[in-house]
Chain A
Amino acid sequence: MPLLEIENLSVTFPSQTSDLYAVDGVSLTLERGDVLGIVGESGSGKSVAMLAVMGLVAFPGQVTADRLTFEGRDLLRLSDNERRALTGKDVAMIFQEPTTSLNPSFTIGYQLAETLILHEKMDRKAARRRTIELLDQVGIPAPEGRLDAYPHQLSGGMNQRVMIAMAIACNPKLLIADEPTTALDVTIQAQILDLLLSLQRDRGMALILITHNMGVVADTTARVAVMYAGQIMEERSTESLFGSPQHPYTAALLAARPEASDGGRLATIPGVVPGAYDRPRGCLFAPRCAYATPHAAECRPELRPWQNGLIRCHYPLGDTTRDERIAADRRAAPPAAAPEVA
C-alpha cells in the first residue's frame, strides 16, 4: 500500500465571475521513504495541492478528489479530531518563512514541547529532555540555552531548524517542505537541505520538497513533478528529466536558467502564466508553447505514461513522429494568432 495516494485532486476557489482552478486534476503516488520534488512557478498550484493534503485549504476553497489517502485512510472523510491526531504526528509540514510560522509570544522550547505533550503524551520533563535532543539533531549549538529564546532572538536559519525539529518531533512518515530554503542565504540553504536529506535517510521518512528552484531539485530529489497552472505537466526521475526533458514547458524552463546559457542570450518563454480569466480551453501551456497547434489549443491532453514517466502533452519532445503530426495538425486548421509577447 503506498504511503500517499492522490488521484484527480482539484482545489477551486469559486468567485462570482469565474472559478479559479488552483489545482486541476493532480495525481501522485508516494511510497515510504520516497523523495519527490514538486517544481513550478508562482501560481502553479504546488503549495495549494499540498495544503489540501494537510487539510489546510481555507474557506471558500473547495477540495475534491477521486482518491486522497494516507496509509489507506481517506483524508477527505477524517473527523476534525482524527485530522488533529494525524497532523503533526504522521504528516508534518514546514513552510517558507520560518520567522512568521513560529508564534512570537512563546519560547521555542514551549512550542516544541507542545507537540510532544499533545501527540506523545509526554510530561513536561520528558518533553524538555526530548526537545534538547531534537534541537541538537538539527544542528543548533548549545540547545539547553536556546530553549528559552523567542523566535525573534534567533536568525532565519536557526528558526527554520526549529521548524524542522518541530516537524520531526513525532517521527512523521511524511514531511512536506514548502520552499524551506527560499528565504535563507545560499550557505545556510545548503546546510538546511543537507539536514533534511540526512533526516530523511536516517528515519526512512518520505519527503516532498516544493520549490521553484530547479537547482535545488536537481541536487536533492530522486523524482520530480513539474507543475504549471494547477496541473502536472511532467513527472519522471530527476536524472532523466534534467537529461532529456520531454515536455516543451520543462525544456523551456531548463533552457531559461542563466546557468544553462553559454554567455549569449537566454532562451525565454513568451507571455505569462494564465490567470482565472484567460484559462485556455486546450493545453494550458499552448498559448506560450513553440509547438502549439490548433488541436492542442482546443483539446486538453491527458497525463499519460511516456518513457518511464508521465507527461501531459500531445507532442512529447522524444516522439519521433511529432514533427509530422505537428505539421499535419497545423495544416488541418488555419494557424491561430501568434502568442502575444508580453
Chain B
Amino acid sequence: MSVLVSARGLTRVYDIGRGWFREPAHLQAVGGVSFELAAGHTLAVVGESGCGKSTLARMVTLIEPPSSGRLMIDGLNAVTPPASEKPRLRRTVQIVFQNPYGSLNPRKRVGTILEEPLIINTNLSKQERRRQVLEMMAKVGLRPEQHSRYPHMFSGGQRQRIAIARALMLSPKLLVADEPVSALDMSVQAQVLNLLVDLQAELGLAYLFISHDLGVVRHIAHDVMIMYLGVVMEHGAKERIFARPLHPYTQTLLAATPGMGKNRKRIIAKGELPSPLNPPAGCVFSTRCPYVTDQCRRERPVLRPLDERLVACHYAERFLEQPAA
C-alpha cells in the first residue's frame, strides 16, 4: 500500500482584523490534523459546519498554504514545493465542489470546460484534446452529442458528472470531493456515488471525501475522520467507528443522523458550536458533552490509539464495554 498523501500537524490560522489599534484575533480553523491516504482509498472527513473540514480540503488542494505542519503529496513537499515541481504537484490533486450550479461557467460549452485543463497544462493537438474530452465524457456517462451544450441544459446530477470529468482530465491521483452529492436529489445522489466508486476502481484514485452526511460516508469511505472545531475527535477504519464509536461526539452525530439512530441511545447534544475565536480551554466538545467532568474542562485530551483507532477523549475506555451495534 503506497501512501499518496501524508499530513502531519496541519494547521491553519486566520487573522481576523479588529480595527486599527487592536491586535488581530487569531482564528484556528484547523488545528494539528494528521492523516495518511493511500492510492485507491477513500478518507472521509465528517463534521458540522465550522469544523474546519473545508479548510482542510483547501489546504490539501493547494488553494491555500497551511500556517504550520507538513504535507507530502506523491512524495513531494506540498507546503513549499520547489518551483520546478509545482505544475506536476497541482496536476496530481483536483477538486470537485459541492454546488454544480455554481462551479461551472455558464457561458462555456461542456467541451470547452473539459478542454481547458488540457490547453493550459499540455501541448496536445486540437484533435487529440477533443478525443480525450469525448473519452472522459463517455467514462462519466455523458453522451458525445452533449459536447457542445451549455451547463444550464443539464440537470444537477449531470452537471456534477461534468465537474467530475473536468477534475479527472489531467489524470490526477487524488480527488478532493467537497460535499459532492449534498446538493443533489435522492434518486440522483445514488447515481453519482456509484460513478465515484466505479472511477476509483478503474483509475485507482484516492479520495478525500468531505461530507456531513454519515449515511453517504458509511457507504463510500474506507477510513473516517470526525472533526469538531478544527480538531480531530476520532479517526480510524469505517467499520470500527460505525460499529462502536468511542468519542461522545461521534456517538452524538450517529444518534442525531435520521435513520441511523435506530437501536442507539438517542443523545442530543446541548447547545451549539462554541465560537472558534474563543474555543473552550479543555476539550473542545466539553461545552456540549453529556459526560463532561472537571478534567475535560481543564485539559485538552490528546488523540491516542485505542481499540484500533485514534480517539481524543479522556474517558473513551468507558465506551469499550458497550455492545457493538
Contact surface of A with B, Cβ cutoff 8 Å: 41-42, 141, 155, 157-158, 185-191, 193-194, 212-216, 218-220, 252-253, 256-259, 261, 263, 265-269, 272-273, 341-342
Contact = CB atoms under 8 A, between A and B. Distances in A.
B44 to A, nearest CB: 12
B272 A157 contact: yes
A340 B218 CA distance: 30
A10 to B, nearest CB: 23
Which 9 A/B pairs are nearest by Cβ-Cβ distance?
A215-B259, A215-B258, A258-B219, A190-B256, A185-B48, A266-B190, A256-B190, A269-B187, A41-B185
Nearest to B270: A191
A41 B190 CA distance: 13
Contacts of B158: 342
Contacts of A269: 187, 190
Contacts of B214: 186
Interface in B204-233: 212-216, 218-220
Given A258-B216, A265-B197, A215 B257 contact: yes
Contacts of A272: 155, 157, 188
B191 A268 contact: yes
B212 A253 contact: no
A186 B253 contact: yes
A197 to B, nearest CB: 12
Interface of B: 48-49, 141, 155, 157-158, 185-191, 193-194, 197, 212-216, 218-220, 252-253, 255-261, 266, 268-269, 271-273, 288
Nearest to B218: A258
A186 B259 contact: no
Given A185-B48, A258-B190, A269-B187, A219 B212 contact: no
Contacts of A190: 255-256, 258, 261, 266, 268-269
B194 A219 contact: no
A127 B209 CA distance: 49
Contacts of A188: 48, 272
17 contacts: A186-B214, A187-B256, A188-B48, A190-B258, A190-B261, A215-B257, A219-B258, A219-B261, A256-B189, A257-B186, A257-B259, A258-B213, A258-B215, A259-B218, A272-B155, A272-B188, A342-B155
A31 to B, nearest CB: 25
A214 B190 CA distance: 14
B261 to A, nearest CB: 7
Contacts of B49: 185
Given A259-B259, A265-B197, A214 B186 contact: yes
Nearest to B266: A190
Given A155-B272, A259-B215, A218 B187 contact: no
Nearest to A261: B219
Contacts of A259: 215, 218-219, 259-260
A256 B185 CA distance: 11
B287 to A, nearest CB: 12
Given A185-B48, A186-B48, A187-B48, A263 B219 contact: yes
A193 B268 CA distance: 11
A259 B213 CA distance: 10
A305 to B, nearest CB: 27
Given A141-B271, A155-B272, A265-B194, 20 more contacts: A157-B272, A187-B288, A190-B255, A190-B261, A194-B268, A212-B185, A216-B258, A219-B261, A220-B258, A257-B215, A258-B193, A258-B216, A258-B218, A258-B219, A259-B218, A259-B219, A259-B259, A261-B219, A266-B219, A272-B188
B45 to A, nearest CB: 15
B127 to A, nearest CB: 28
A256 B187 contact: yes
B313 to A, nearest CB: 17
Nearest to A255: B190
A256 B186 contact: yes
B152 to A, nearest CB: 13
**Which of A41, A141, A193, A194 has the most chain B CB atoms closer than 10 A to its own CB?**
A41
A56 B213 CA distance: 32
A266 B155 contact: no
B257 A186 contact: yes
B269 A268 contact: no
B215 to A, nearest CB: 4
A273 B187 CA distance: 9
Contact of A186 (B186, B194, B212, B266): B212
Contact of B259 (A212, A219, A342): A219
Contacts of A218: 258-259
A155 B141 CA distance: 40
Nearest to A158: B272
B24 to A, nearest CB: 22
A273 B48 CA distance: 30
Contacts of A342: 141, 155, 157-158
Contacts of B48: 185-188
A241 to B, nearest CB: 13
Nearest to B51: A185
A254 to B, nearest CB: 10
A285 B288 CA distance: 45
Contacts of B186: 41, 212, 214, 253, 256-257
A201 to B, nearest CB: 16
B212 A215 contact: no
A141 B258 CA distance: 25
A193 B259 CA distance: 13
B111 to A, nearest CB: 18
**Which of A141, A193, A257, A268 has the most chain B CB atoms closer than 10 A to its own CB?**
A268
A268 B252 CA distance: 30
Nearest to A263: B219
Nearest to A155: B272
Nearest to B161: A342
A220 B213 CA distance: 19
A209 B49 CA distance: 24
Contacts of A219: 258-259, 261
B77 to A, nearest CB: 35
Nearest to A273: B185
